[in-house]
Amino acid sequence: MVGLVNCLIYALAGAIIMFCVLMVIGINQPRKMSLIVWCVLYVVIAVAFDALVIVALAYQYEVLIEVSLGLSAGAATGLAIHVTHHVFEERNKT
């Protein structure tokens, strides 16, 4: 039971971290930066996340694997918010 609670805590921490990072740079629009810098930051975040997952899986770091799962959930939530924003923009055009 303790192991499951720890896994959930690490995953939740990863999700919160990723969501906060995406909020800082702007999920839907760049915050105080050009569109090019914003896009580059999204790519850098994605590549860093990929590298983190590779290291976690290659060396079987349990905590890093759990945090990576949380980061994945946070990134998916950020993407869902981004897409929802565009859906509402398209609805308002018609």
State the number of CA atoms in the 13 A half-sphere of 2 facing the CB: 0
Q: Domain residues for 72?
A: 2-93
Q: What is the pLDDT of residues 14-58, one digit of tens each?
A: 888 988 888 888 887 788 888 888 889 888 988 998 899 899 999
pLDDT for res 2: 62
Per-residue pLDDT for 8 more than 70? yes
8-state DSSP, 61 = -
Q: Is 0.85 topped by the overall pTM?
A: no
d(CA 90, CA 83): 11
Q: What dihedral do alpha carbons 59, 63, 66, 71 form, nearest 10°?
A: -90
Query: How many structural domains are present in the chain?
Result: 1
Rg value, the chain, Cα: 16
